[in-house]
Amino acid sequence: MSQPRCRSCDADGLEVVLSLGRTPLANALLTREQLSLPEPRYPLDLAVCPACTLAQITETVPPAQLFGDYPYFSSYSDSMLRHAEALVERLIPERKLTERSLVIEVASNDGYLLQFYRRQAIPILGIEPAPNVARVAQERGVPTLCEFFGLELAGNLRARGQRADVLHAHNVLAHVSDLNGVVRGMEAVLKDEGIAVVEVPYVKDLLDRCEFDTIYHEHLCYYSLTALNDLFRRHGLVIEDVERIPIHGGSLRFFAVKAPIGHPTRAVLGLLADEAAWGVRQVETYRNFAGRVEALKASLTATLRGLKKRGDRIAAYGAAAKGSTLLNYAGIGRETLDYVVDRSPHKQGRFMPGVHLPIYPPAKLIEEMPEHVLLLTWNFADEILEQQKEYRRLGGRFIIPVPEMKVA
């Protein structure tokens, strides 16, 4: 379904700045039986709202279609686990959390974050819409509601006395079509003195680092602090503090409390001023990004063609959504790559959407020693290069495509 108006402020006049073509759903990994069936494809166009600055795609795929059988499990990333544990260790003393507190996480995945609160005997509740992922969380002892979060669910929790001292929402705001309902729900489920801790990929990093492959149909929105500030204030929440963090290629972590309690820190005011200076409200800023995306695509495909022409074997690492975007947009398939490897057993044995590359365990790299591996999950490059040090010691090379192509 096409989105003619802004998902946040409802303004019309969205300006399309980048088209990545018609692509399959990035996380719709295929079984062997599905390879012969038609794959639905949807327009993947990035637009900007001239009123509130929110960058967003123009197509909305029904959530049930995106999250019914979800293959992403956060616990298979050591970096994500370390990131989550460090945050929990910081927040427990900062917020003076005890066994009488409650921590809720929206889109809690497999319990990767909440498990660290549980180990400290802090009461927790996860909310995760994907049944297969919620089941894994429950099996590891993380109480999880298998539902989509919004104002209705928040009202039900509030009526049952389940209000949050800390509400986590990590990498979920990008995924929801009803932004206003979700943020209203956050306000409703927070205790009066509670705090929302939210992480979103930062649009400035997307632009600066040419991270076009983070654009896919699950990611409906790409946030500046300017757009977030407008959204949260509309629903009685004040962004009190903000941090730039490296996770996922560059993200914002911000802390929101109920108005009128909260007051923006210098960090918030400073980042808002920085955004105004670099042109967050100017459509031309985003059009310039589109030109760099085209140039990166041309450089990468030319390099891969050259390697293939001289007889090199090339595999890929990371059956992630960003990898699907890159491969389908750039037209890189079985004529160039032999296969993809991924650490998650939930992905192994399946095939990449659109390009139909088979997915194997990472051990296949040592078994077959392709000369090059295209690193699709470049956001975890340090972790993966360390895990694959034996492959590299034996002469294998990784091609890192983003933010600019290099070989490691």
- The H-or-E segment that residue 303 falls in is helix 283-309
The number of residues in the chain equals 408
pLDDT at 71: 60
pLDDT at 67: 63
pLDDT at 2: 61
pLDDT at 78: 86
pLDDT at 374: 98
pLDDT at 3: 63
Confirm whether 401 is domain-assigned. Answer: no
Strands of 124-127's sheet, edge to edge?
A: 144-145, 124-127, 103-106, 164-170, 190-201, 251-258, 237-245
Quote the domain boundaries for residue 162: 74-207+217-260
Q: Residue 245 is part of a domain; what is its CATH number?
A: 3.40.50.150
Whether 69 contacts 130, CB under 8 Å: yes
Reported pTM: 0.89
Confirm whether 140 is domain-assigned. Answer: yes
Confirm whether 347 is domain-assigned. Answer: no
- CA nearest to 255, candidates 87, 93, 374: 87
375 DSSP β-pair partners: 317
Q: CB under 8 Å to 67, separation ≥6 — which residues?
A: 129, 130
pLDDT at 1: 58
Confirm whether 391 is domain-assigned. Answer: no
Confirm whether 335 is domain-assigned. Answer: no
Confirm whether 164 is domain-assigned. Answer: yes
pLDDT at 130: 87
CA distance 209 to 187: 33
Whether 329 contacts 297, CB under 8 Å: yes
Q: Digits of tens for pLDDT over the chain (408 positions)? A: 566 799 999 999 999 999 999 999 999 999 999 999 999 999 999 999 999 999 999 999 887 676 656 666 777 788 889 999 999 999 999 999 999 999 999 999 999 999 999 999 999 999 999 888 999 999 999 999 999 999 999 999 999 999 999 999 999 999 888 999 999 999 999 999 999 999 999 999 999 999 999 999 989 999 999 999 999 999 999 999 999 999 888 999 999 999 887 789 999 999 999 999 999 999 999 999 999 999 999 999 999 999 999 999 999 999 999 999 999 999 999 999 999 999 999 899 999 999 999 999 999 999 999 999 999 999 889 999 999 999 999 999 999 999 888 998
pLDDT at 65: 73
Total count of domains within the chain: 1
Confirm whether 115 is domain-assigned. Answer: yes
Whether 71 contacts 140, CB under 8 Å: no
Confirm whether 400 is domain-assigned. Answer: no
CA distance 18 to 212: 9
